[in-house]
Amino acid sequence: MAGGRRARRADGFPRLRPPMTRIVLWLWVALASWALAPAGPVLAQDVPLSQDAGTQSTLDYEAWQATATRAEAALEAGRASNSALETLRSDLAVWRDKFLAAQNTNKARITTLQSQLTALGPVPEGGESEDISARRADLMAQLTRLQAPVLAAEEAHTRATGLIAEIDRIFRERQAEELVSLGPSPLNPVHWTPSLEEVLGTFHDLWRETYANWNNEVRQAEFEQAAPVSAGLLLLGLILLLRGRRWFNTLGLRARKLSKRGGDVWGFLVSLGKVVTPFIGLMVIMQAIIQTGFIGLRGSTVLNYLPAWGLSILVIRWLADRLFPEGDGPAPVPVEPARRAEARGYATLLAILVVISAAIDVLGSVGNFTPEAEAVIGFPVVCLTGLVLFRLGQFISAQISLTEEAETGGLTYRNRIIRALHRLAQVVAVVGPLMWAVGYRNAADAIVYPTVLTFALLGFVAVLRKLVNDVYTLVTRNEDSTQEALWPVLIGFVLALAAMPVLALVWGVRVAELTELWTKFRVGFSIGDTRISPTDFMVFVLVFALGYMATRIIQGTMRSSILPKTRIDVGGQNAIVSGLGYVGIFLSALVAITSAGLDLSSIAIVAGALSVGIGFGLQNIVSNFVSGIILLIERPVSEGDWIEVGGKMGYVRNISVRSTRIETFDRTDVIVPNADLVSGTVTNYTRGNTIGRVIVPVGVAYGTDTARVDKILREIAEAHPMVLLNPLPSVYFTGFGADSLNFEIRAILRDINWSMAVKSEINHQIAKRFADEKIEIPFAQRDIWLRNPEALRPQASAPAEPLPPNAQDAPEGDDA
């Protein structure tokens, strides 16, 4: 046949397009094994890298040289197959991890020698003594000997990293070449008949292989012995496969009815049985078929993929049930309850089509299909997949717009993203089959089926996020705060991050590329002579968090247990607690940096540049910070003081790093920069103590006995419980006013914060006593004199004349 058997590259190597079976299997098998692998080759090194007190490396550099030379020759020739390159890359990655671990050989001893050389200092201009010179030479010799394996490991590590990068580049180039390669068109009628013959021939080979085993006497004898077991397994498998979902549907409904609290969580756990039970039945059926002994080599190859295909359909169906549940309850994807069954049908149909595509790949591998046959056979499947995908995208977009706009009058940000993704899926559903029809089968295969799997992955994340919300509701027993709680959002964010590697695998990223990213992440980055890795960062965060918690515990103990038992005032206690917080955070950061192994001297230049930038760009913030420290040390203003600054009066509620919060008498907060409190004018009414003076003015009518007024006012002031009797309150006759004889009560209060209340109560007592004693409190009165009042009288025969232009009011005067 034209094109030969099985699609091959022009250079004789197999094509790079991964079959759909590989993508499906990656989701359920490869990722599980990868996740259960050791944390990293570097951490798993159990071969000692040095001997003799760590001075000699035991790495076999001859074997490494052979591996590196072989890799360089393969890269130079450019004819190595993909499997050969993958094997070679794996070997290089193992060597690279060994070299990375070897770079820490003799690290402690090297650090000690460098410290000794630093202690000796530079060689003076006039020379140094023979003893010191000999000692310096001896230390340098030891340092050179200890650094030799480290330098060799660094050089080998760099070489391995470069070779791995070249292999990855070749893979990317080959993948790009395959995506843009033009193959046979399935619309060419010339390919139809040969393709059909190949498919029928493959099924004929499978049947002939099975029929030959059926006629084999040995196989028949084995079948007679295993027939009861096979029949029992087959019956059990069929029962689990056909009835398992119904059992757990009924069990889930009962669990929700019996458990009013946490019904969604129990329903989720029960729903897993709808996947596990049929899958076990499928495995039992496969085992029953194998027990018969009639399945040949080709049939076994196809049969081995049956659990993965069945599991794919079961999981997608389970996702559809969770995303579009039965009933009127809420759903992760907003779809009308009456249309959810339709959405579940679309999702199940897509799963079946993906499995059919994977089965075609397996049959093509078994039957060694030509590219023409693969293009013709896969074209109807990709067309149906595109049709269902287009309809599902159209359906979900319409449902989101309908339900969301009906409830809230607009779309939320999340639902806008969902609708945009489904509209993008509609574009893929049209472009993919067209590309396949033209001949770009690899490109079409690379966008259509990964799009379907992407929606399955996003649906799985949405289901897990809903489970997190349900568990949070079950634990906190508060359904109203779930949407606003922080922990469900953080866990959802972690789930989204965890889905990123799986999403990359779906879209064709190799596992080796992901492990390479993880390796680079583990290695970290360098600042000066210091390398910062994620491990160092985790140590830094952990130590700093412990120090921060210890600081808070000490602050709480000092605030609640120790300081209240001292004679320090409240402001001084708050200053001590705040100062402990600053010192504790500084020490925590310092200890965390040291524990993480960061060399502060290597970032001194960066710190100097930052200090210059702070001096120019953040001088106001630094000024306020320093002013805050001055306020805590000098304490001209303390928390709880009644102050007045910038025309604002109130109580100091908090002195923070940058500013001070003042609560006014209107219960509003005024944020004052600390620099204003240090450099500006501040009136502190309660500095040191709360004792203060209050002045109450009052006036009486002319002719009143002033001595009697003095006595009454003195009695009123001395009778008030807030007025101190030592010193005694004073009453002063301040003068003769325009309308009254003016007096003042001047009294010292126990707490100046009650000054307004005391004034009010004293005024009440004055009004009452003056009324009892018939003492008049005057008020201003005015008489208005009009010039020419006769001009304002109405005239009987003539109209009233206007007032003269110079008419004006008489001057104001007091009543007699």
Which of 586, 612, 638 lies at the terminal end of a domain, its last residue? 612
Residue 19 in tokens:
């079959």
Q: Tell whether 431 is covered by a domain.
A: yes
The burial of 522, by beta-carbon neighbours within 10 Å (0-12 exposed, 13-18 middle, 19 or more buried), is given as middle
Cα–Cα distance measured from residue 312 to residue 454, given in angstroms and rounded to the nearest whole number: 14
Residues 448 and 369 in one domain: yes
Give the model's pLDDT for residue 659. 87
For the ranges 38-42, 158-162, 269-273, 403-407, the maximum mean pLDDT occurs at: 158-162
Angle at 100 between CA 98 and CA 102, to 5 degrees: 70
Q: Tell whether 811 is covered by a domain.
A: no
Q: Tell whether 489 is covered by a domain.
A: yes
Give the model's pLDDT for residue 602. 55
Strand order in the sheet with 659-664: 669-673, 659-664, 648-655, 642-645, 682-684
Residues 565 and 607 in one domain: yes
Residue, of 655 and 761, whose pLDDT is higher? 761
Kindly report the backbone phi and psi dihedral angles of residue 642, in degrees, each rounded to the nearest multiple of 5, phi listed first. -100, 115
Q: Tell whether 356 is covered by a domain.
A: yes
Residues 297 and 167 in one domain: no
Closest CA to 700 of 759, 773, 764: 773
Cα–Cα distance measured from residue 133 to residue 72, given in angstroms and rounded to the nearest whole number: 46
The total number of residues shown for the chain amounts to 816
Across the strands, what pairs with 642?
651
- Number of structural domains found in the chain: 5
Q: Are 239 and 281 in contact (CB under 8 A)?
A: yes
Q: Tell whether 798 is covered by a domain.
A: no
Parallel, antiparallel or unpaired: strands 659-664 and 669-673: antiparallel
Give the model's pLDDT for residue 743. 94
Residue owning tokens 């203060």:
692
Give the model's pLDDT for residue 695. 92
Q: Tell me the torsion sign for CA atoms 67, 70, 74, 76.
A: positive
Closest CA to 508 of 85, 30, 172: 172
HSE-CB at 665 with a 13 A cutoff on CA atoms is 9
Cα–Cα distance measured from residue 742 to residue 704, given in angstroms and rounded to the nearest whole number: 11
Q: Are 150 and 103 in contact (CB under 8 A)?
A: yes
> Cβ contacts of residue 600 below 8 Å, gap of 6+?
593
Residues 542 and 644 in one domain: no
The burial of 784, by beta-carbon neighbours within 10 Å (0-12 exposed, 13-18 middle, 19 or more buried), is given as exposed
Residue, of 169 and 569, whose pLDDT is higher? 169
Residue, of 511 and 814, whose pLDDT is higher? 511
Closest CA to 345 of 311, 395, 397: 395
Confidence of residue 57 (pLDDT cuts 50, 70, 90): low
Residues 350 and 431 in one domain: yes
Residues 302 and 430 in one domain: yes
Parallel, antiparallel or unpaired: strands 730-736 and 50-51: unpaired
Give the model's pLDDT for residue 612. 67
pLDDT in tens, 134-152: 888 898 999 898 888 888 8
Residues 337 and 303 in one domain: yes
Instruction: Say whether pLDDT at 744 is over 90.
Output: yes
Cα–Cα distance measured from residue 320 to residue 314, given in angstroms and rounded to the nearest whole number: 10
Confidence of residue 629 (pLDDT cuts 50, 70, 90): confident
What average pLDDT does the segment 402-426 reach? 72
Residue, of 578 and 11, whose pLDDT is higher? 578
What average pLDDT does the segment 298-311 reach? 88
Segment holding 717, helix H or strand E? helix 706-719
> Cβ contacts of residue 366 below 8 Å, gap of 6+?
202, 205, 206, 298, 301, 302
User: Cis omega before residue 727 (within 30°)?
Assistant: yes
Give the model's pLDDT for residue 529. 56
Q: Print the domain residue range for 153.
A: 47-121+131-179
Residues 679 and 569 in one domain: no
Q: Tell me the torsion sign for CA atoms 502, 504, 507, 512.
A: negative
Closest CA to 678 of 623, 734, 598: 623
Residues 237 and 361 in one domain: yes
Give the model's pLDDT for residue 594. 79
Residues 448 and 365 in one domain: yes
What average pLDDT does the segment 699-707 reach? 90
Give the model's pLDDT for residue 805. 52
DSSP string, 225-253: HHHHHHHHHHHHHHHHHHHHHHHHHHHHH
Instruction: Say whether pLDDT at 799 is over 80.
Output: no
Residue 779 in tokens:
């008020």
> Cβ contacts of residue 116 below 8 Å, gap of 6+?
139
Residues 745 and 627 in one domain: no
Residue 437 in tokens:
């029809």
Which of 688, 716, 735 lies at the terminal end of a domain, its last residue? 688
Q: What percent of the chain has pLDDT over 90?
A: 20
Give the model's pLDDT for residue 625. 79
Q: Tell whether 336 is covered by a domain.
A: yes
The mean-pLDDT minimum among 373-387, 512-526, 562-576 falls in 512-526
What's the mean pLDDT when you consider all of the chain?
80
Instruction: Say whether pLDDT at 792 is over 80.
Output: no
Give the model's pLDDT for residue 619. 72
| pTM for this prediction | 0.65
Which of 650, 667, 688 lies at the terminal end of a domain, its last residue? 688
Parallel, antiparallel or unpaired: strands 642-645 and 648-655: antiparallel
Closest CA to 783 of 754, 764, 810, 743: 810
Q: Tell whether 567 is covered by a domain.
A: yes
pLDDT in tens, 460-514: 998 998 888 888 888 877 766 656 677 888 888 888 888 998 998 888 888 888 8
Q: Tell whether 71 is covered by a domain.
A: yes
Q: Could you tell me the CATH number of the domain that includes residue 649? A: 2.30.30.60
CA diameter of the chain? 150
Beta-strand ranges (E) seen in 31-70 are 50-51, 56-57
Across the strands, what pairs with 656?
none
Residues 753 and 645 in one domain: no
Q: Are 562 and 637 in contact (CB under 8 A)?
A: no
Q: Are 671 and 661 in contact (CB under 8 A)?
A: yes
